[in-house]
Amino acid sequence: MKFCTVKQYFDDENNNNVTNGIATTVIPLPNKHLKIKANNKEMEQYEQELLRNVMPQELTKLILAANYLNFKEALDFFCRTVANAIQNKSVDYVRKFFGLESDFEPGEEEKLCKEFAWSFEGVDED
Amino acid sequence: MKLRLRSLESKQTIKIELPNPSSTLQQLKQTLSQSLSSSSSLYFSLNRKDELHASSPETTLQSLGITSGDLIFFTHNPAAFSSQSQSLVPNSSSSVQQQPPNPKPNPNSPNQNMSEKAEITPSDQETPEHEISDSETDVDMSDSTTANLLQEDDEETLGGEISGSGSGSVPSGAETMELDDGSSVLSRKKYFEHYFLRRVLREELGGGDGSDHKLMVIAIHAVLSESGFVGFDSVSGMRVDGFHLPDVWPSKAFTMSLCYTLPELLGTVNVNGNYNVPESIVLKFQNMGHCINIYGWAKGGSGLHHVCLNENRFVPALESVWVVNGDSNDEIKNQDGFLETEVFEFWKIVKDGIALPLLIDLCEKAGLVPPPCFMRLPTELKLKIFESLPGVDLAKVGCVCSDLRYLSSSNELWKQKFEEEFGNGTGAKRLFNWKEEFQSSWDRKKKRKREGRQRRQGFSHLRMMRNVNPFMLPSVLRGQHDHMPCFVAPSPFRQVERFRVPWNVPRCTFEESDD
């Protein structure tokens, strides 16, 4: 039942959503899940290893793949990973992480910072 | 109701009690003058930037958004509160009545909470309004249209899209400014009645079926503008920032096409004096009864993207963006909650279904750098990521860029954050602006923590002193007189216990002294 979309994926030649590399990462996940079902910690370790060297862009593609394949657990996990990665980090770090640029006016940005000064306490160093 | 009045210059705070929640601004001025024993005129503001102004002598303080316990700044200097733009409706509406062809005020009304990209330049102000009906308008207009959409709070969100639609659709000048007044109404907790607006806008938009379609088309145009597209005229290749919608809108099925491209692709002038636009997308609007179909494709590309929108669902929400009924605050709050979600849904559908895919397609075709990978995620997935983020980090995300600011301003999201952090204490009492609720609760929590820490530090200091001189007479140490009348060496355990008690009891009294 987790793989109803996967079958469709293999049938569908012209698929831009999921590249091969991503598929090889995402698809074996459920098997591993089954094997290490009882032992959550091992699963966590496995997942941490998997994602240690993954760039944000890769992560985005993983999310899209998991979404396309309708793979809820993987999707949740990847989204949580992104959230953890930017948790308690500064605004600049978040910008760099996502590869975004600030399109605010300088005055506007200052105002924003002032308004959200309450959220800037206790931020990790980059 | 009780109000705190603080002088802008001297920071002196006066507490005033008004007998009646429906007191007017005039009464407040009189009461304050009496307590100051001065008779010079007074000017009030809630945020030290925008003046509080009553459009009529009977306007109650409540309708201005003032409630019991509010802090209001006052000054005798009439120029102290000079808003950068006509941000509060009463000011602007009074000027509407005076001279219709006023220079167009800044559509981005700086708000108490947030000010948008105030990209209005002086040239914009001078442009006579009737030029809007020309295909070409100032570049700045489009920028301000874009900026209008990138607004934050739920109220502002509502205000945003209409300013965009205002500049696009309305041919005559006076209407545009009134529209801006409508959007500028939505500063924190201020609601006014705009029958005059609604009537005129209805007339202008033709009423009946036509206006609904126009509204939808304008709103879709607004979403595209926000995503970075610019409209252009396919014949001349010139950039078009407003568009001239047909006056007579057939109620039966109709089709209409618009061309869009990216600013980078607006090429240079070629031999014939026309601009060369290498790549573009075409949007086709097709009306079928209550639904409007939108087809978009990149010229020469293969992908076709389609979205079908139900007018009955979205038109009321989009309409509410510019016209707010100020009957009762509670009603508005209810409405705002629902309608704001609907506007957000609309934005999400159009963005994910049309704008983003077309943006990616166009970039691919034109060989441009595609938007950052994260931004290419559908809105739902972005929101999913934000769901796992704690509230403070969500606030930081809002400071990153304007797209994320809009996304992170979703009221539903903040409600969830609030409940995660502070539990469901307030219940359904307040139905709007969960972000502010979160912020104030967070501030309170931090304050309590800080005070707790200070108290602990203070006590541990005392304890340290005591430990150094365990057999000194009690009178040497502060605060122990009443407890240690005899000369017996104080028992360490008793002392510790005495100090420990205050920590567990929440000290509510401390928090109220925040003047």
Q: What's the CA gap between B158 and B13, in Å, rounded?
A: 35
Interface test with A, best of B375, B392, B409, B433 (most A CBs within 10 A): B392
- When scoring A14, A19, A60 by the number of chain B Cβ atoms within 10 A, the one with the most, hence best to mutate, is A60
Per-residue pLDDT of chain B (515 residues; tens, 9 = 90+): 888 888 888 888 888 888 776 678 888 888 888 888 776 788 888 887 777 777 677 777 777 778 888 888 888 877 666 543 333 333 333 333 333 333 333 333 333 333 333 333 333 333 333 333 333 333 333 333 333 333 333 333 333 333 333 333 333 333 333 333 333 333 333 344 555 666 666 655 554 555 677 778 888 888 888 777 777 766 665 666 555 555 445 555 567 777 777 777 665 545 455 555 667 778 888 877 778 888 888 777 667 888 888 877 887 777 777 654 433 444 444 455 677 778 888 888 888 888 888 888 888 777 777 777 777 888 888 888 888 888 888 888 888 888 888 888 887 888 888 888 777 655 544 455 677 777 787 778 878 888 887 777 776 555 555 444 444 444 444 444 444 444 444 444 444 444 444 444 444 444 444 44
Please tell me the pTM assigned to this model: 0.51
Taking CA atoms, B263 is separated from A42, B118, B219, B362, B367, in Å, by 51, 20, 20, 12, 14
Q: Which residues of B touch A90 (CB under 8 A)?
A: 396
Mutating which of B400, B421, B442 best tests the A interface, going by the most A Cβ atoms within 10 A?
B400
Please list every residue in chain A whose beta carbon sits closer than 8 Å to the beta carbon of residue B439.
118
Q: Between chains, do B389 and A113 touch, taking CB under 8 Å as contact?
A: no
Euclidean distance between CA atoms A54 and A60, whole angstroms: 10
| Residues 6 or more apart whose Cβ sits within 8 Å of residue A106 | none
String of DSSP letters for A45-113: HHHHHHHHT--HHHHHHHHHHHHHTT-HHHHHHHHHHHHHHHTT--HHHHHHHHT----S-HHHHHHHH
Q: Is A95–B401 a contact, with Cβ atoms under 8 angstroms apart?
A: yes
Residues in chain A within 8 Å Cβ distance of B116: 108
Considering only CB atoms, A119 lies closest to which of B114, B119, B395, namely: B395
Helix (H) or strand (E) holding B166: helix B154-169
Q: Do B260 and B280 meet the contact criterion of CB atoms below 8 Å apart?
A: yes
Whether A100 sits inside 8 A of B404 (CB atoms) is: yes
* Structure token pair of residue A118: 């309450």
The verdict on A72 touching B (C-beta cutoff 8 Å) is no
Domains of chain A: 1-87 (3.30.710.10), 88-126 (no CATH)
Q: Is A88 on the interface with B (CB under 8 A)?
A: yes
